[in-house]
Structure 1
Amino acid sequence: MTTTNIIATANAALEAELAAAINNKTKPLGSLGRLEQLAAQIGLIQQTTQPQLRDPAIIVFAGDHGVVAEGISAFPQDVTWQMVENFLADGAAINVFARQNGIALHVVDAGVNHDFGLRDKLLNKKVAAGTRNFAKEPAMTAAQCQAAMRNGAELVAGLSGSVLGFGEMGIGNTTAAAAIMHKLTGIPVVDCVGAGTGLSSEGIRHKQAVIEAAVALHADVTQPADVLATFGGFEIATMVGAMLAAAERRMVLLIDGFIVTSALLVAARMQPAILDYCVFSHQSDESGHARMLQALHVKPVLQLDLRLGEGTGAALVYPMLQAAVNFLNQMATFSSAQVSEKSSG
């Protein structure tokens, strides 16, 4: 498997130039708050004081999970392929938000348990028709996991833009994400498990018990790639490969909610410098996401009580990136606008 080489964005000279450019705009110091941080981050990613956002895209990765056989979801597995059809018909929330913000949307079959046939708008990267049940055996082989990651890198190679958002669809994938979170952070399973698509409190307790039994069964699995293969989904593994490739190409990565962040957690354990390239769009209302963000030592831009997935948070945060880049490039300086600066007295 090709080794990814992600370079940290730290550059003291450029950081100073960006700070000076931001601070010299016609505003009190720091008054644009998080937008100033985003402007500096994007400038460092692109290694310029005049960053540009080009051809933004969001990829929605779809895959099915064998662990659904354990009764851990409020919805049947068929909903995965039915929602893929909804994406293809432009009927989902992500279609609306991506269209609203001028973001190209790509839908990928990474491993759905359904035969879609040849479809113009569906990218076929199916490794298998869903993973195996990790409550009984590893979700995928090491070879399948590597194939999925390669597929993700290939998807990124075909893109021309500077911004890539990540979304997902897969019944059962909050269970996979919670197991990955527990294994890679050590946070107790009870603090990783949530309602997913709408489980009752009894359903959540059952989901927790399934994960606890599974992590006991696979207690010797510790390395990030092995954790991904053992507990992940094909959509999560394909996302990991795409994230690593996108950061290597110095793209801005828009990270969505709980499941997408679990993929990023794996990628960050493999290549810590990837965090420099990530904008964490929002804090999901899914229990566990706040703790996962804390474990990564990152702060989300928005908090809208979302828990839909699909990349919706990534689409909604994109205008904030536009605002950050636009104020840096277009806003007057004190000298150009002939505005008096704050006195030093």
Structure 2
Amino acid sequence: MVAMTTRAEEFCRRYGMRMPILLAPMAGVPAPALSVAVANAGGMGSCGVLLMTPDAILGWARGVRAGTNGPFNLNIWIPDPPPERDREGEDAVRGFLSAWGPPVPERAGDATPPDFAAQCAAMLEAGPAVISSVMGIFAPDFVARLKARGIAWFANVSTVAEARAAEAAGADAVVAQGMEAGGHRGCFDAAAAEAGMVGLFSLLPAVVDAVRIPVVATGGIADGRGVAAALTLGASAAQIGTGFLRSPEAGIPGAWADGLATTPPEATVVSRVFSGRTGRSLPTAYVRAATAPGAPRPAPYPVQRGLTAAMREQGVRTNDLDRLQAWAGQSASLARAEPAGELAGAIWADARRLLPAGAA
């Protein structure tokens, strides 16, 4: 009981929080308003900067600081090796996608993310409380630059081995991601993402036992029950993504928000059909068709992301769920259509009532 109190309180004190709840960084939900609301409620805001230019990263940080003095986290993917290209396979995907959106340009698969080094420089300049990694760990020189600026490094991990590697590389905390999580699987080895799926209730205590640094729990947490369970299993804090997506500050298309409300845990789908990297989403018509027998094999990341861009953009413009990249964790139906700040406060209040007396 005392240890649980100490863990959460020390974590909050270290990062300027009043409640041990973090907003999960979601590259498709960059609106500063969501982070402002969560930070003002006493949690930590976040932004997935994967697809953002350096100027956009700095602009986002300014926008958040205009609305809150609370902490925030900037998150970035560790780059994958250059993909092996298969033009014939890509043409098959382009032909398949022609039934789901505008014609896919021949060179759509050539699209690449912004320059990683320039993004890292911009994150350092923005000076957040935390910079976090996913899909791997930062190089030693960047870790040294983080430490020199007093910025904490949180490493997203999906296995015990990844957690140990992150601690050895100098991470200040690890974010243990259970397979229940919506969006991309944060695996160091992209090829092992489907085979290595571990549920949070098994992963979390194993990671807590394996490392000496704080552990943040994420994946399938969307209410006070999940937060209380995470703290009981040894986490210092809980990170919530899908649980905030129906809040108005998230600004996602209405069809996506409505889909979350009606999707049971067993209905979400893990596939590579949006980006080439493994991710969990709603079971839209496109996802069902693209994962059916006979559908073309998705191209590798980031080629598949480029190929599906026109369809996804059309889905946003037309509020068409079947063409949206509608990421969703297994607890999607627990998400509530309430202001994010009020929701964060209610989740923490519910968690405190469920924890043993004096534990939070």
| Same fold per superposition (TM over 0.5) | no
TM-score (norm 1): 0.27
Structure (1 or 2) with the greater helix fraction: 1
Greater relative CO, 1 or 2 (CA 8 Å, sep 6+): 1
Q: Which has the larger radius of gyration?
A: 1
